[in-house]
């Protein structure tokens, strides 16, 4: 297990390269993890949405954790996603992740039948009872169609292993107001995702940013996060401006599809998104290439 605080600073989320049958390419994954360790990110977020957790079997998820843990052990904290539909399966995944070397857990309330606030609470309560690892709540309503009420977050924050929450970008951009509300009701470390909000979130005082781009081009995103942490708004805004063309492709095509294209363009590996998700077509890839090529030298 790695010492350190997994829910502060830049948490970088790499792709989980896998073949068409959902078998993880552990060699390419290990290279991506090595790149993140060398860059000095604050934590690695494995098997998040960018890590296609919902498309992988239990066995493949464990293989991914083992490969990442073997590479990063003792260097960078490894936060592992254990979201899945059934509570008993989430319990199994949490135990698997802990046994395979994870330092912390990340869990979204994945659902088909919409969950109530009480059902989500019981889901998290069961998983925290199965593992002693610190856990980050993954609030991702765009994917899960579940939104955490502040009362539920306050209730969950009283469970002994729940230490953090990963929030979507706030409607209207009121980071300061949301941070004040969350900190007034909970003791959770508050982080955000949605890469085009990195500068705003960190300048507003968020504890962490959970970055898709940071999983592949860590140095550039880390520079932005460090500038914001230091209160250097001018430099943070400058770097955000450099990244704006890429943020535009995220918004247009979806960050997951864009990251598969970047993996190829950057020469870091070849992988296809899990079907039914399709790779970007030629014109879209051309736009991604134009946005990312100027960044590769500093990524």
User: How high is the pLDDT of residue 123?
Assistant: 98
- The response to whether 128 counts as a known ligand-binding position is no
**Domain count across the chain:** 1
Q: What tens digit of pLDDT does each residue of 139-196 get?
A: 999 999 999 999 999 999 999 999 999 999 999 999 999 999 999 999 999 999 999 9
Alpha-carbon distance of 285 to 213, in angstroms, equals: 16
Q: Are 215 and 299 in contact (CB under 8 A)?
A: no
138 tagged catalytic: yes
Structural domain contains residue 297: no
Q: Which two tokens stand for residue 82?
A: 């254990």
Options 53, 121, 124, 138, the catalytic residue: 138
Options 53, 121, 124, 166, the catalytic residue: 166
User: How high is the pLDDT of residue 5?
Assistant: 79
Structural domain contains residue 247: no
Structural domain harbouring 222: 9-232
Structural domain contains residue 3: no
Structural domain contains residue 42: yes
Structural domain contains residue 298: no
Residue 283 has pLDDT above 80, yes or no: yes
Structural domain contains residue 1: no
User: How high is the pLDDT of residue 2?
Assistant: 57
Residue 72 has pLDDT above 80, yes or no: no
Alpha-carbon distance of 42 to 4, in angstroms, equals: 9
Q: What tens digit of pLDDT does each residue of 103-119 get?
A: 999 999 999 999 999 99
pTM given for the model: 0.96
């Amino acid at each position: 297990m790695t010492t350190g605080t997994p829910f502060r600073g830049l948490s970088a989320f790499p792709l989980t390269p896998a073949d068409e049958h959902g078998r993880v390419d552990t060699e390419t994954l290990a290279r991506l993890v090595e790149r993140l360790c060398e860059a000095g990110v604050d934590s690695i977020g494995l098997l998040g949405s960018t890590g296609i957790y919902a498309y992988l079997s239990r066995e493949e998820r464990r293989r991914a954790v083992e490969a990442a843990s073997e590479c990063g052990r003792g260097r960078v904290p490894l936060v592992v996603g254990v979201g899945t539909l059934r509570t008993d399966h989430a319990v199994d995944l949490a135990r698997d992740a802990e046994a395979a070397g994870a330092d912390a857990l990340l869990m979204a309330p994945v659902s088909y039948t919409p969950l109530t606030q009480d059902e989500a609470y019981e889901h998290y309560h069961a998983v925290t009872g199965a593992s002693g690892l610190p856990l980050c709540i993954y609030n991702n309503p765009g994917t899960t169609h579940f939104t955490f009420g502040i009362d539920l977050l306050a209730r969950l924050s009283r469970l002994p292993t729940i230490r953090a929450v990963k929030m979507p970008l706030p409607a209207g951009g009121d980071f300061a107001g949301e941070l004040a509300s969350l900190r007034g009701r909970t003791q959770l470390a508050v982080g955000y995702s949605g890469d085009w909000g990195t500068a705003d979130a960190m300048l507003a005082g968020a504890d962490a940013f959970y970055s898709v781009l940071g999983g592949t081009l860590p140095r550039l995103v880390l520079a932005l996060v460090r500038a914001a942490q230091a209160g250097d708004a001018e430099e943070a805004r400058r770097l955000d401006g450099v990244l704006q063309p890429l943020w535009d492709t995220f918004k247009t095509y979806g960050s997951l599809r864009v990251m598969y294209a970047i993996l190829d363009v950057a020469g870091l590996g070849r992988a296809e998104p899990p079907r039914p998700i399709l790779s970007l077509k030629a014109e879209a890839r051309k736009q991604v290439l134009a946005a990312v090529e100027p960044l590769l030298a500093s990524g």
